[in-house]
Amino acid sequence: MDKSPDAFRTISEVADDLDLPQHVLRFWETRFPQIKPMKRGGGRRYYRPEDVDLLKGIRHLLYDHGYTIKGVQKLLKMNGNKFVAAIASGDLATVEALAAANIEEPAQPKLGNPDEDQIVGRAKAPASRRFFSFVGGNDEAPEISVGKTSVGKEDRALLQEALYDLLECKRLLDQVR
């Protein structure tokens, strides 16, 4: 007998649904404060449907898109739970709407860790970093001509993102060596 879509799920049901071991879900609870299953007597966990959607989004970003835990934490902090859950469900309209809402909000200046940007070989993300190709920045970059072809602002932004990703990969490889 299948449960209703609104029913709470046990950790074993969620683990089976996500094809993950239960200890991974418990570990994620320590890394993502947004995951808050209801706990009954004896510590038994019950996941709400929105918890399951968030876990699906986190799993999708970590395993399918290669994000790190820190990267997913940053996405959650910047865009919220609904954004990550919408990514896993493939709801592009919601992803675009939530990303656009975050771009329109004025950014509060934050003081970062001064050592963070001083690491040799660390690539810095462009100011208008976008998630995949959803919702571009509002900066009006001129069209650039290269030989007989021209590169528009959309393609330029994608190339900048690819460059950032490659530099980050190089940094990670250099750390391993």
CA distance 85 to 70: 17
Partners of 52 in beta bridges: none
- Checking if the pLDDT of 133 tops 80, the result is no
The CATH code of domain 9-101 reads 1.10.1660.10
Three-class SS state of 113: coil
Pair type for strands 9-10 and 45-47: antiparallel
How much is the pLDDT for 29? 92
Partners of 131 in beta bridges: 134
Residue range 101-123: mean pLDDT, rounded = 48
Beta carbons of 31 and 72 less than 8 angstroms apart: no
How much is the pLDDT for 104? 58
How much is the pLDDT for 52? 92
Q: pLDDT band at residue 103, thresholds of 50, 70 and 90?
A: low
Residues in the chain: 177
How much is the pLDDT for 105? 54
Locate the domains of the chain by residue range: 9-101
Could you read off the pLDDT of 58-85 as tens digits, one per residue?
A: 998 899 888 899 989 998 888 888 888 8
